Structure 1
Amino acid sequence: MRFEISDAELVKIATDELRHFSETRFLNFPRKIVLNFFENDQPIGFVSFDVRWINRNAYITYYLIPEKRGKGLGKAMVLEAIKFAFDTLNMNRITAEVYEYNDASIALLRSVGFELEGVMKKAKYHAGRYHDIHIYGLLRENFGRE
């Protein structure tokens, strides 16, 4: 047996087997939604969602430029984005994957209501060693708007 590297599958998934796969395998809806944040007309960060429309779940990624950190802006951005995801995108849950060594991100997620749901052991390779990835989740019903 051999293999070739490609950007597309040559074998199609049978319709009755689609229930075993992520919806991203068969839907053409836009999955990535980005909210860019500005201060004084200058971009300072973003929050993006990788959306799974059928399951009403969005994977969150966020970034704030270094010179704006430590002022509560990151938390404000994430809170605004969460409200948007629940109220406008009609998500039921938001999922975050965070590397075990990212203490600031873990603290931010916990501060807005995310709960640790699981750990993927040694799933991230960085700087010559493997690290755990923590999986956090926030359900719409558990989100207390501030």
Structure 2
Amino acid sequence: MEIKITDKEMLEISFEDLKNFSETRMIHIPRKIVMNFIENGEVIGFVNFDMRYFNKNAYITYYLIPEERGKGKGKLMLREAVNFAFNELNLERLTAEVYEYNIKSINLLKRFGFKLEGQIRKGKYHDGKYYDILIYGLLKEERAG
């Protein structure tokens, strides 16, 4: 058997078999929507939505530059993102993965009503040690903050 390493599959999946895969195999529209937060002409942070259109949910990632942390801006960004997700994108659910050592991010998610749904044990290697990845979810009807 020969092995060829490439950046994509060389075999096309039949339409019938697509039901066994995530929707990202079925549609070819942009999966990423990004809210960039700009202050005084400078980008200070973003919230990224990795969309799952058929299931009306998204994985979110957020980032705020270090100089702007501790000023309530992360809370403002997440509030805008949650409202945008549920009011404009008409999503039913948001999912966030956070490393167990990122206590500030965990507390921010909890403040908005995200609930711990699971963990990936030793899923993150950082600074010579393995850490768990915590999975938080928020349903449209549960939002707070």
Give yes or no for TM over 0.5: yes
Is 1:85–2:90 an aligned residue pair? no
Is 1:6–2:6 an aligned residue pair? yes
Report how many aligned residue pairs link the two structures.
145
Name the CA distance, whole Å, in 2 between partners of 1:121 and 1:2: 34
Mark the runs of 5 or more structure 2 residues left unpaired by the alignment. none
2:61 counterpart residue number = 61
Shift of 1:120: 0.8
> Which letter maps to 1:26?
M
Name the CA distance, whole Å, in 1 between partners of 2:88 and 2:110: 23
Equivalent position SS for 2:24: helix
Name the CA distance, whole Å, in 1 between partners of 2:20 and 2:101: 33
Mark the runs of 5 or more structure 1 residues left unpaired by the alignment. none
TM superposition outliers: structure 1 runs of 4+ over 3 Å: none
Matches of residues 43-54 of structure 1 in structure 2 within 5 Å? 43-54=43-54
Q: How does the TM-score come out when normalised to structure 1? A: 0.93
Q: Deviations over 1:28-76 (max 9, x none)?
A: 1111111111223322111110001001111101111111111111011
Shift of 1:3: 2.1
1:109 counterpart residue number = 109
1:97 counterpart residue number = 97
Q: How does the TM-score come out when normalised to structure 2? A: 0.94
**Over aligned residues, Cα RMSD in angstroms?**
1.2
> Which letter maps to 1:121?
R
Shift of 1:127: 2.1
